[in-house]
Chains A and B, each alone.
Chain A
Amino acid sequence: QSVLTQPTSVSGAPGQSVTIFCTGSSSNLGTYDAHWYQQLPGTIPQLLIHTDDKRPSGVPDRFSGSKSGISAALVITGLQAEDEADYYCQSYDSSLRATVFGGGTKLTVL
């Protein structure tokens, strides 16, 4: 059971938008930044969104992040087949004094 809770899977048709939510608690997302990673099949994780809503250089603006209270969200607009991947949220937890990840969400582009 992950400290951060994500849906196991989401899906959407090409061109549509999907939102992946990540829910934590006051000791993690309620206090610390949310970060998101994309892991394409058979590849290593890549930082997608950091510090709640910042995109590293090279990440398309179709990907956006937000956070409110103990929940964070990753929004992907204009879905493309190449967006099929696992997405992980991550934060820091002051009670555990450790980095925590969500369990991951598998995005299927229909």
Chain B
Amino acid sequence: EVQLLESGGGLIQPGGSLRLSCAASGFTFSIHAMSWVRQAPGKGLEWVSGISASGGDTYYADSVRGRFISSRDNSQNTLYLQMSSLTVEDTAIYYCAKKYRGIIPAAGPFDFRGQGTLVTVSS
């Protein structure tokens, strides 16, 4: 069974940094592109970042480009999101998502399995 377990969220002050992790199991992690999708409280879904299966290519939404970095460790079946220069607008539940099918690494469709991790940016 596919499992994705996000962690690393918490309360952080504006301007701070945080690293999220997503531990994957139940599938061959190294052959699947992955993405991060966030959802602000009471709001809709927003794609944040994508990464190719090898980790060699990364993609970002304009709202986070230059501040967030996606990476992965295929030997550890783990996806990461390094977030810096955080603002209150980054407050959200962050989900990691497995690419369900298709060629474009940054595109969906996505398979969501984890409960997400909540990042709260507040002073």
Residues in A lying within 8 Å of B, measured CB to CB = 2, 32-33, 35, 37, 39, 44-47, 50-51, 56, 86, 88, 90-92, 96-104
Contacts and interface: CB of A to CB of B under 8 A. Distances in A.
B47 interface: yes
23 contacts: A33-B102, A35-B108, A44-B95, A44-B115, A45-B37, A45-B112, A47-B100, A50-B100, A50-B101, A51-B101, A51-B102, A56-B100, A90-B45, A90-B108, A90-B109, A92-B107, A96-B62, A98-B47, A99-B106, A99-B107, A99-B108, A100-B47, A102-B44
B109 A50 contact: yes
A101 B111 contact: no
Contact of A104 (B45, B62, B115): B45
Interface of B: 35, 37, 44-47, 50, 59-62, 95, 100-102, 104, 106-116
Determine the main DSSP class of A at the interface with B. strand
Among all A-B residue pairs, the 4 with the closest Cβ atoms = A92-B107, A99-B47, A35-B109, A50-B109
A99 B35 contact: yes
A96 B16 CA distance: 27
Given A88-B44, A91-B107, 12 more contacts: A2-B44, A32-B107, A45-B37, A47-B109, A50-B101, A90-B45, A90-B110, A91-B108, A96-B62, A98-B47, A98-B59, A102-B44
Given A44-B95, A51-B101, A98-B62, A92 B108 contact: yes
B50 A99 contact: yes
Contacts of B107: 32-33, 91-92, 99
Contacts of A88: 44-45
